[in-house]
Amino acid sequence: MSDPIVNEPEAIPETLRERDQWVCWREENRDGKPTKIPVTPGAGGFASATASETWASFEAALDYTETEHADGIGFVFTNDDPIVGVDLDDCRDPETDDVDDAALDIIKRLDSYTEVSPSGTGYHVLITGTLPDGRNRRGSVELYDTARFFTVTGDHVERTPTRVARRQDALTAIHREYVQDIERDTASESEQRGDAAARSPMTGVADVDVDLEDEDLLEKARNASNGEKFERLWNGNTVGYDSQSEADMALCCLLAFWTGGDRTQMEQLFRQSGLMREKWDEVHYADGSTYGEKTIERAIATTSEFYDPDAGGDTEDPHGTPDRVATGGTPDEVDRSRAYLAEKNRLLSERVDELEATLEQKTERIEALETEIERLTDELATRDQETTQSHKEDSSTAIETGDDSEPASMLRRFFGGRSE
């Protein structure tokens, strides 16, 4: 990885530097992969792209990178600013500077401030505009406008503008062509769905055009054989689940089935359900993904079949959940049970990771406090010694000079009395 510390901060546009929307990040290994963890400048705790109290000014974030607790800085996108970030991953060879044609096309059309990513294998383009509705990621192209943080290096790409330009028309076109257009589905997205999706006869979810309005979809889901379970989850009832996170996943798996894996429609529907809560929009992952986005992504990845209007059979339960976890039965039931248990284990593992990270953070804080206490104790002991030594020196000086201090007066009176 190239040096993530910003060596030329003046290269970063003032449009960004003037906003107090900066965090730091440090790289940690998670599941054997390097992961960028957002960090609060100065404090060192975990930062959140939805908690402004964990952000700081550009200068404060930059200063904190001089410590061992941060490897770089990042800019947080919010609803209060017009800034959009375009993330182009795995498109640049850091050894030869060769760049994919698609990335070159996007950079040229956006014609705004562009920099090399911390890994050296991608680019970040920053513009002003409004991100169109719909999905925001396909393959190696991601678009962010809120509740995310963008790593910033200041490694400006020559022949691109040094300012953040307004490029609404170009953004709309690129979103349509590279992200929203189903004909541009890529192999990388198929990999994200995991082995379960790869085994499905409908691995390319977009190949199945469900094309149901929300109300029609909900009606079908309620009238299916597992409609009672869907209705309970839809109304926010989590009975039968160890946590609301598991209930969230169960509902998203059902929505994945009925929408044909349409992320946008799944998002819209879940927000209408009784399970919707603030946590849905909170950033819980180092890559900037919100809890809701990851839940939808994993629901699609673990869904092995999707509703096909032309094939019928719309009454089956696409996943085994706590309502009927198979301990035997047909192979399909066993597969569904395994999918549920695998997802449950994933959620538990993530929770363990979160707790371990929190414990590590608290341990570091305790060690820092213990070090500070030790320093203060040593300083206090030194001051006590200096004070004691000073008193001794003062007493000795008073005796030698015959000062009218109390010890000297007592000695004069004593010897004076004897001489009489």
Span 106-165, pLDDT tens digits: 999 999 999 999 999 999 999 999 999 888 888 889 999 998 999 999 999 999 999 999
pLDDT confidence tier of residue 335, bands split at 50, 70 and 90: low
Q: How far is residue 171's CA from residue 160's CA, in Å, rounded to a whole number?
A: 16
pLDDT at 386: 84
Residue 397 lies in a domain: no
Domain co-membership, 19 together with 159: yes
Pairing, β 114-116 against β 137-138 = unpaired
- Of 298, 342, 336, nearest in space to 317 by CA: 336
- pTM of the shown model: 0.47
pLDDT at 208: 54
Q: How far is residue 413's CA from residue 420's CA, in Å, rounded to a whole number?
A: 11
Residue 132 lies in a domain: yes
Domain co-membership, 29 together with 168: yes
Domain co-membership, 174 together with 29: yes
Distances (CA, A) of 273 to 195, 238, 316, 365, 416: 29, 12, 21, 40, 101
**Element (H or E) spanning 396, and its range?**
helix 331-401
Domain co-membership, 35 together with 180: yes
Q: Show which of 324, 351, 380 is a domain's final residue.
A: 324
Domain co-membership, 201 together with 304: yes
Could you read off the pLDDT of 284-326 as tens digits, one per residue?
Answer: 765 677 889 989 988 888 787 888 776 655 444 454 444 433 3
Residue 311 lies in a domain: yes
Q: How far is residue 362's CA from residue 358's CA, in Å, rounded to a whole number?
A: 6
Residue 340 lies in a domain: no
Domain co-membership, 170 together with 232: no
Domain co-membership, 103 together with 137: yes
- What average pLDDT score do residues 222-229 get? 90
Domain co-membership, 171 together with 199: no
Domain co-membership, 98 together with 206: no
Domain co-membership, 168 together with 27: yes
pLDDT at 198: 38
Residue 32 lies in a domain: yes
Helices (H), 263-330: 263-272, 291-302
Residue 65 lies in a domain: yes
Q: Show which of 279, 305, 324 is a domain's final residue.
A: 324
Sheet holding 33-39, edge to edge: 33-39, 22-30, 72-77, 148-152
How many folded domains does the chain comprise? 2
For a pLDDT cut of 70, what percent of the chain falls above it?
73
Could you read off the pLDDT of 237-291 as tens digits, one per residue?
Answer: 988 887 888 899 999 999 999 998 889 899 999 999 999 999 998 887 656 778 8
Domain co-membership, 121 together with 264: no
Q: Show which of 148, 167, 184 is a domain's final residue.
A: 184
Q: How far is residue 84's CA from residue 77's CA, in Å, rounded to a whole number?
A: 7
pLDDT at 357: 66
Cβ burial of 85 (10 Å; 0-12, 13-18, 19+) is buried
Residue 379 lies in a domain: no
Per the structure, the complete domain to which residue 141 belongs is given by 9-184
Residue 24 lies in a domain: yes
- What average pLDDT score do residues 396-404 get? 58
Domain co-membership, 117 together with 203: no
- What average pLDDT score do residues 369-391 get? 83
